[in-house]
Amino acid sequence: MDRRNFLHSSSLMAASVAFSPLSIPLSPKKDKLGVALVGLGYYSTDLLAPALQQTKNCYLAGIVTGTPSKAEQWTKKYNIPAKNVYNYQNFDQIANNPDIDVVYVVLPPSMHREYVIRAAKAGKHVWVEKPMAMTERECQDMIDACRSNKRSLAVGYRLHHDPNTQEYVKMLRDGAIGKIQMVNCSAGYFDARTTHWKQKKELGGGVMYDMGVYVLQGARLATGEEPISVTAQQFTNRPDIYKNGLDETTMAQLVFPSGARAAVQTSFGMNMNNLHVVGNKGSLRIEPYSAYSGVKGVGPGGKVIDHPYEVPRQQAMQMDDDAAAIMASKPMLVPGEEGLRDIRIVEAIYKAAQSGKTVTL
Ligand code: NAD
């Protein structure tokens, strides 16, 4: 089965179909979509722009930046015409630019809602980086804006587009380890920064929003269910930086309707990256679980899960899948509703950690 057919038959796709509005066809019809990156920080510079040099269904057509020197460098490096360069003030004029089909919001999370809504109102399809936004309400506003403007909305969950992730999810759904009973997922790295937005609560900082969405994805993809309750604990070894509700390390325990349980850990103070799923007939281990350079694992009976690729192939696969879906007026593999489900759980986890009580969902 080729990759595209597999995508369409996978349970990831099935989960998305129920929620995603079909976008209206592009006119005139194109065979390659123009993407404008909003926010030219680390992820746009090191991963997305290089990936857009590899993509077949989309290309880097424009940029939105508040820094004139970056505009100059990027236009030269990527041969972007001056008419496709915007700043945060004149961004809404992108509505009049037929070169730009998709706006990809790669800003700090507190800014996602505003730019997704402005892009949808400008008539553009929208991709938004994780975490989708700060609250479930904000996520819903973004979904509503795209729906009412008949535009597609996808969240930049690159792992859903990774063939290794797709393989282990299919194995689990096919019953390879039986009924899922216990999941453990960890994702963290040591972040030495102290004044970045990741260390500022008001800009969307805190690890549960950042790496935390990956461990929730691990638990949700492994079980195929939504949690019904959570408990959580938070701690820090750097209280001078991580204070006033800004978390360095969060641990949470999730209970699922089937009775399956998940323990998840996420941190800006420790390097960790793995998923362990235990069923009544066997187990599966994925490590690394969310690396750019490739997800790898071992399933039951020693079955190796390892479809290799190089950085930034994962990001290219994500954008190619999403561009192809837009051009075919098909649902997004990871629609806004999927990002919202995680943010709903993130909010419950913060509440559980602060109160010390179980929070039901
Ligand atoms: P970054 O700090 O390197 O870049 C942020 C960009 O936003 C910068 O260009 C900055 O100038 C701009 N910006 C505009 N207004 C700002 C403001 N008020 N404060 C701070 N910056 C402002 O961050 P990043 O690591 O590129 O992350 C951007 C987004 O991408 C986040 O949502 C992040 O979670 C996401 N991300 C996703 C992945 C992934 O694997 N999917 C990896 C890294 C980052």
Digit-coded pLDDT (tens) for 205-239: 999 999 999 999 999 999 999 999 999 999 999 99
Pairing state of beta strands 261-267 and 304-305?
Answer: unpaired
Residue-wise pLDDT tens digits, 324-354: 999 999 999 999 999 999 999 999 999 999 9
Ligand 1 proximity of 109 Cβ (cutoff 6 Å): yes
**Cα(182)–Cα(253) distance, integer angstroms:** 11
> Which CATH superfamily is 3-157+321-334 part of?
NAD(P)-binding Rossmann-like Domain (3.40.50.720)
Ligand 1 geometric centre to CA of 107 (Å): 4
Instruction: Tell me the catalytic residues.
Output: 130, 214
Give the pLDDT confidence score for residue 4 in this predicted structure: 45
CATH (one of 3.40.440.10, 3.30.360.10, 3.30.70.20, 1.10.10.10) for 160-315+342-360: 3.30.360.10
Give the pLDDT confidence score for residue 29 in this predicted structure: 81
Residue type (1 letter), 92: D
Ligand 1 geometric centre to CA of 211 (Å): 14
**Cα(247)–Cα(201) distance, integer angstroms:** 9
Ligand 1 geometric centre to CA of 302 (Å): 39
Mean residue pLDDT across the chain: 94
Q: Please name the residue whose Cα sits nearest to atom 8 of ligand 1.
A: 41
**Helices (DSSP H) in the chain: which residue ranges?**
3-9, 11-17, 42-43, 49-51, 68-78, 112-121, 136-148, 163-173, 207-210, 212-223, 313-327, 336-355
Ligand 1 geometric centre to CA of 105 (Å): 9
Ligand 1 proximity of 156 Cβ (cutoff 6 Å): yes
pLDDT cut 90: percent of the chain above it: 92
**Cα(342)–Cα(18) distance, integer angstroms:** 17
Per-residue pLDDT for 155 more than 80?
yes
Q: Please name the residue whose Cα sits nearest to atom 4 of ligand 1.
A: 41
Domain extent listing, the chain: 3-157+321-334, 160-315+342-360
Q: DSSP character for 47?
A: I
**Residue with tokens 């404008």, as numbered in its chain:** 36
Instruction: For residue 128, give the ligand 1 atom closest to its CA.
Output: 32
Find all residues with CB under 8 Å of 325, minimum gap 6, and list them: 152, 154, 331, 332, 333
Q: Is the Cβ–Cβ distance between 223 and 260 less than 8 Å?
A: yes
Sign of the CA dihedral with 310 first, then 311, 312, and 314 last: positive
